Amino acid sequence: MGQDVFISYSRIHLPFVERLNAFLTDIGVTTWFDRKSLLPGQKWEDVIDDEIPRSRTFPTFLSKAAMDKKAFFHVEQRERKIGTGWFSNGSASGMWL
């Protein structure tokens, strides 16, 4: 197993997610957070595809603004859904849970 947490987010949530990542790492939780985990020259799409299934948990930070924006964030959500089978879109609003 890789890290405890793979942090999936839209860039509009970056300030919050940076604080969350700092908090988690301060209390000893290992995270995969693109701002600290991606290295120069890495093919980020391949790295993300590899790291999602290696993570114990996959919190996702959603908002209407994030859902309306087209970004790789949506690919991460689809990868997690396909990879585990437990990730579902069961809410009335159409938001991923």
Q: Alpha-carbon distance 90 to 71, whole Å?
A: 21
The reply to whether 90 falls in a domain is no
Asked, for residue 67, whether it belongs to a domain, the answer is yes
H helices within the chain, ranges in order?
A: 14-26, 34-37, 44-51, 64-68, 72-84
Q: Which amino acid is at 64?
A: K
pLDDT of residue 75: 58
- Predicted local distance difference test score (pLDDT) of residue 44: 85
Residue 74 in domain = yes
Burial of 6 (0-12, 13-18, 19+ CB in 10 A): buried
Residue 95 inside a domain? The answer is no
89 within some domain: no
Residue 84 has pLDDT above 80, yes or no: no
Residue 97 lies in a domain: no
What's the predicted TM-score (pTM) here? 0.66
Q: Residue 37 is part of which domain span?
A: 5-84
For residue 69, tell me if it sits in a domain: yes
Instruction: Count structural domains, the chain.
Output: 1
Q: How many angstroms separate the CA atoms of 9 and 71, rounded?
A: 10
Confidence band for 80, pLDDT divided at 50, 70 and 90? low
